[in-house]
A and B are shown apart, each in its own frame.
Chain A
């Protein structure tokens, strides 16, 4: 895997015309985007914008209603195992095997991913130390805090050094030290050839610091996509923050002002 991936010629992720529906409700509507090699792509959106549904379709949790997804050129619907071998995934909610300890869980993941014992142990040791999991590695996951569970999920996603990292709000429950560590880790991660990261968040500051390009998702539709500089040009504000760009593009700026007024603010 990694740099020697046979499908390395294809982009880490490409999506064309993806739609996801839950019964009558359409969560994602004809979405197209691409995560390029060496890129951290930020998927931004309000709550319920369709970020998690998009990610669930990529990792095989939800069957798309329409459209195509390719992970290094591989269709994850038709060839789920081959696509999943190349991906590492951190879900939005830390839902894990509650009855296992982090060590037992990571051992299971390492087994499924066919890692050699020495390699797996070395990586578990390295990441457990980096994320300060040493004290909790033999405690049942059911007894751990949300932040610690999130760290376990991050370590599990990194364990096989995947070519594509798919992260759904990965920093939500982390402490400041771990957030900083994660930012550094991701920035370094994509420097290796052939790797890409898809990163969903609604924290504009994080996206601004970390992402090479962002896509703004609103009610299931991609409103805009590009680098921060490109988006600034689009809203014709040279020094606009990503938050301002986001509110402008999702046409929520006026709505927020109205809401603040109704709450008695200025």
Chain B
């Protein structure tokens, strides 16, 4: 068979993949009785919507980088970057940031879609058919490429155009190798981590020790995605580092940086735009050129490897342990709400998309906590950073809360047949959000304690904010439950056109943020009144939101 057959087969498989991505029938969702018309069309539209959103974000990133490149002098004047940093290095730094964010975002997208790709079972359906190996391999590769098509195309078009508008057409062309490498590496990394997921996470045995190991793997997996957030926070420090290395660092260190991915490829448009000052000639230019050739070769290898390996990923079942001893057969039933919490944590421990949502606020707290430990000059500095860390943890936990409702899509039809009240489900989800906040705040406190020996104010701040986080969760999830009950539908996925799951986070963030805002407004008059006001407002929010969410009797 020819490529034409592979295109035809992948188109058919893509329709099935879209249907499963949105309606998740193979994960246990039930056919929506009153919406059975045009399921396929609706699923395809929603998948397209998701891709458009991701492509839009990538386009905005490219536009933002272009704006920064055009306003380099004004940015230097603001003091965000060192005044002595040469323009060429600033340009290379901005493009490095853009390429890093591109690869992180596309990889993160891959992390989200690969579990769907695996659970949809579209490739195993094709395997028994009389189709030759080459066609099956091509079909799998084309199907995989279609998962990323619009975002990847946006990167490939928007980045050269926006960089070209800022630095000139030659620079626009010179950024193409960097973008191609970012796409190829992101797709390869998605596949690698997807294989890792199948082998080490999805197929891992149960039990406490194994659960801890799985969470360990998931932390490792989340860190690259977390880099997306971290890069924005660390940008000023990165430019200072660049300036330091270029002006007073060793030539070995500088040349190593020039050869590092993605800086080597990001230097190409800067050099093409004529901003060569600071790179070091001729050695620096030679290092950049040699590294760029090396990365181009690696890009080709990554692309070929990805296209050849997709089929094995799509058809490899999750493997159980080789030996299967008699497992523990005792069970420890708990209350229904706690059972929901435990179930969600267990599902997340084998589902990277959900694990990411739980780990992001916690890792954020760890990162800022470490920053506090390393950089804070005194108690007051450490305290303000610690408070900022807790604030971000509270807002992130609030923002991701609605996504945990999507876990309910797992075996949704079976879950609906159990005598599990909405109240129990709601309490379980709110407990999860509260746990995330508590763990994040606890970690910050632990790390801050190493530098600050009077944690009282920090502890009271974290506790005063707690009712607001719980109130925000009650509000967000209460509204989502009310809507789902009214329409008789599960919320399938935050990333599948369910706009209200995103929209509801806006009032949620207001609820979580209002006590913090009040604290800052009142803190000029001293700590105690500010904390008292903050705590009272948070409790008031909770006293309104909890009855709203938990109201209404079920029998």
Q: Which residues of A contact B (CB under 8 A)?
A: 20-25, 56, 59-63, 78-82, 84-85, 87, 89, 91, 95-101, 103-104, 106-117, 120-121, 124-125, 128, 134-140, 142-144, 153
Contact = CB atoms under 8 A, between A and B. Distances in A.
B327 A138 contact: yes
Contacts of B203: 140, 142-143
Interface string B328-372: 111111111011001100110111000000000000000000000
A54 B366 CA distance: 52
Q: Among B319, B321, B324, B418, find the residue whose CB has the most chain A CB atoms closer than 10 A.
A: B418
Nearest to A153: B414
B494 interface: no
Interface of B: 26-28, 30-31, 33-37, 119, 202-207, 317-321, 324-336, 338-339, 342-343, 346-347, 349-351, 410-411, 413-414, 416-421, 424, 488, 554-555
Contacts of A136: 320, 324, 327
A117 B419 CA distance: 18
A121 B349 CA distance: 24
Given A63-B33, A99-B202, A111-B333, A134 B411 contact: no
A128 B339 contact: no
Contacts of B414: 89, 91, 95-97, 153
Nearest to B331: A107
B334 A111 contact: yes
Contacts of B205: 101, 138-140
Contacts of B416: 59-61
A139 B206 CA distance: 6
A112 B418 contact: yes
B342 A61 contact: no
A63 B488 CA distance: 9
Nearest to B25: A95
A137 B332 contact: no
A174 to B, nearest CB: 18
Contact of B320 (A59, A91, A121, A139): A139
A142 B329 contact: no
Contacts of B410: 97-99
Contacts of A81: 419, 421, 554-555
A143 B418 CA distance: 24
A8 to B, nearest CB: 18
Nearest to A86: B419
30 contacts: A22-B31, A22-B33, A23-B34, A59-B417, A61-B30, A80-B419, A81-B555, A84-B417, A89-B414, A95-B28, A96-B28, A97-B343, A98-B27, A100-B206, A100-B343, A103-B328, A108-B342, A110-B331, A111-B339, A112-B336, A117-B330, A121-B329, A138-B328, A139-B324, A139-B327, A140-B203, A140-B206, A143-B317, A143-B320, A144-B320
Contacts of A111: 333-336, 338-339, 342
Given A135-B327, A142-B318, 9 more contacts: A60-B416, A81-B555, A98-B411, A103-B328, A112-B336, A117-B331, A134-B326, A137-B327, A138-B328
Nearest to A95: B28
Contacts of A24: 37
